[in-house]
Amino acid sequence: MKAATEELRAAPTARQVQLARWTSPGFWLTVVAVALIGLWPLVTGDASLRETFFTALLSLALASSLNIILGFTGYVSFGHVVFFGLGGYVGMVALNQGVPLWGALPLGGLAAGVLAYGLGAAILRLRGSYFALATIGVNEALRAFVNNFPPFGGATGISLQFSVYKSYGGATNALWLAYGLLLTACVAVILLSYAVKTSKFGLGLMAIREDEDAAEVMGVVTPNAKTWAYVLSAIIPGIVGVIFFFKNGNIEPADAFRLQFSIETIVMVMLGGQGTVLGAVLGAVGYQRLRGFLLTYPPVKDLQLAIAGGLLLLIVLFIPAGIVGLIRRKVPALRKFLV
């Protein structure tokens, strides 16, 4: 009983727990690093660097948001790009109707969130491979549907009216604006992802990931938790979709709902380490760096898909917890930093 009292004294108080949550050095290091590196092209005005970074940040936002449903909750979604595409379409239609960008962004997020809510209520009942298959089905069904949907321009898609850019200081300025917005979104998604992970809600999600039935027995209201995780993970790609297609200037079904894109995002999360905030960030950036290298290095240029595949296979077979997961396991002392 004596040992028990000592243990009690050592136990953290409620306040300490909350404080520890927002003073985690590993987390702030991640946020500051992403923000500083991300600001670099804006400071130097280097347009080609901006383009490289744009691709990496896009992946970062998608991978970090996918991580909420895939890494925290354990549901493998092949349909993450659906929300990206839907957000893009809604944003384009809104922009062309004269809605300002700051209005189109939340609209894209909202549309994605609403779709995820409705979809989640239906398909999140499915487990394991069945859920994964259903998300493939949803992706393909939606793409085929948009192909036939005149308000979204059918197979040809929608182009942004050039006048839209004028309100933002012309096309060149709009590119910088899009980059700034994406960077902001990335910082926001890292914050969101960390907030979810360290919250009570996040604890419930991780309980579901480890053993859904046991979580239910312990009182986790699994249908609600899963649905809200899905909605949260969908809102980000919805907003990012608006940014991307605003910059791109046009949208068509094949770009908006590319299954391959979803799968690449899963690979990024796996590479970095599913279920860790830092892992999704590193995985996204690392994957895009590697791809960029393979695409520009002549001897392997044609084989880049095969090399990426070989790499993925090696990760799955030998370091299934991803890079961050591997380090966390090997060096427990670093766990505090690798959130």
Partner 1 sequence: MLLELNNVSRSFGGLHALSDVTLTLPQGEILGLLGPNGAGKTTLFNIINGVYPPSAGRVRFRDQDVTGKKPYALAHMGLARTHQIVRPLNELTVRENVMVGACFGHERHTLGEAATIAAQTLAFVGLAERAEQLAGSLNVAQKKRLELARALAARPVLLLLDEVLAGLNPAEIGAMVEIVRQIRAQGVTIIMIEHVMHAIMNVSDRIVVLEYGRLLAEGTPAQIANDPKVIEAYLGSADMAQDLQSQVNYHPVNGVACTQAQA
Partner 2 sequence: MDFLLASLVDGLLIGSVYGLAAMGLTLIWGVMRVTNLAHGAFIALGMFGVYGLFNGGFNPYVGLFLVAGCGLLVGIGIYYVALHRVINAPQLSTLLATFAVNMIILGVGTTLFSTSPRTIDFSLGSFSLGPITVQNTRLLAALASGAITGVLYLFLYRTRPGKYIRAVSSNRAAAELMGISSTHILALSFGLGALLAATAGGLIATFFPFTILSGDTYQLKSFVIGVMGGLGNPFGALIGGLILGLLEGLIPVVMPTTWVPVIEFLLFVIILLVRPNGILGAKR
Residues that bind partner 1 (CB under 8 A): 3-4, 7-8, 10-18, 199-200, 203-204, 206-207, 209-211, 213-222, 275
DSSP string, 209-277: HH-HHHHHHTT--HHHHHHHHHHHHHHHHHHHHHHHHHHHSEE-HHHHT-HHHHHHHHHHHHHH-TT-H
| Sites for partner 2 among residues 49-88 (CB under 8 A) | 74, 76
Q: Is 213 in the site for partner 2 (CB under 8 A)?
A: no
Percentages of the chain per state (helix, strand, coil), in multiples of 5? 80, 0, 15
CB of 47 to partner 2, least distance (A): 31
Closest CA to 136 of 266, 245, 236, 251: 266
Task: Specify the residue, 170 or 320, whose C-beta has the smaller distance to partner 2.
Answer: 320
Q: Is 130 in the site for partner 2 (CB under 8 A)?
A: yes
Would you say how long the chain is, in residues? Answer: 339
| Cβ proximity to partner 1, 140 vs 216, nearer residue | 216
Listed ranges 15-23, 59-67, 145-153, 238-246: which one lies at the site for partner 2 (CB under 8 A): 145-153
Q: Least distance from C-beta 289 to partner 1, angstroms? A: 28
Residue in the block written with tokens 């702030």: 28
CA distance 235 to 122: 18
- Partner that binds at residue 16, options partner 2, partner 1, none, CB closer than 5 to 8 Å by kind: partner 1
What is the x/- site pattern for partner 2, positions 165-204, by CB under 8 A?
----------------------------------------
Q: What is the 3 state secondary structure string of 161-199?
A: CHHHHHCCCHHHHHHHHHHHHHHHHHHHHHHHHHHHHCC
**Binding-residue pattern over the window 264 to 283 for partner 2, x denoting contact by CB under 8 A:** --xx--x---x---------
Please name the residues in contact with 201: beta carbons below 8 A apart, sequence gap of 6 or more: 225, 228, 229
In the complex, minimum distance from the CB of residue 246 to partner 1, in angstroms, rounded to a whole number: 38
State the binding partner of 7 from partner 1, partner 2, none, CB within 5 to 8 A by kind.
Answer: partner 1
Rounded to a whole number of angstroms, the minimum distance from the CB of residue 199 to partner 1 is 7
Is residue 66 within 8 Å of residue 236, measured between CB atoms?
A: no
